[in-house]
Amino acid sequence: MSHVETPQPVVNSGAITIDHVHRNMKSTSILSIEVDMLGEAGRNSSLLSAISAGLISFALSIWTNAAFQDPLPNAGWYLTYIVAPFLVVLGMPLGLWALYERYRANKLIKELKKKVS
């Protein structure tokens, strides 16, 4: 049995046209420094929030543990009255700095939206 080859049409290019969908799109350039600033602000905000929450929760756990100790040992007194307040004093400014970084990121997003629209 012999095989007969039929010539197939060769398609070199093609075009797709859709008549029922029309979109008006704008292209606006965004500087790479703006993208870097936005990423940096997000990273800083996340990192500072995590550190702040960790420090404050550690201080709260020290105070909770001290509340259930009837005779507070010397190390417990030191942790309760010196270390735990220091952790809160250290954690609160970091939390405020995290809020500032989030504010900075939101401000940059609003500026980029104004630029696009």
pLDDT tens-digit profile of 65-107?
A: 988 888 888 888 999 999 999 999 999 999 999 999 999 999 9
User: In this structure, is residue 95 part of a structural domain?
Assistant: yes
Domain for residue 7, yes or no? no
- Report yes or no on 101 lying in a domain: yes
Domain presence at residue 80: yes
User: 91: closest CA among 62, 57, 65, 63?
Assistant: 57
Cα separation, 17 vs 22, in Å, equals 11
Q: Is residue 53 part of a domain?
A: yes
Residue 19 domain flag = no
What pTM value is reported for the model? 0.67
Tokens of 24: 């008006």
pLDDT at 45 over 80: yes
Q: How many domains does the chain have?
A: 1
More confident residue, 102 or 27: 102
pLDDT in the model for residue 22: 65
Whether residue 1 is predicted with pLDDT greater than 60 in this model: the reply is: no
Residue 25 maps to a domain: no
Domain extent at residue 38: 32-116
Report the mean per-residue pLDDT for the chain: 83
17 located within any domain = no
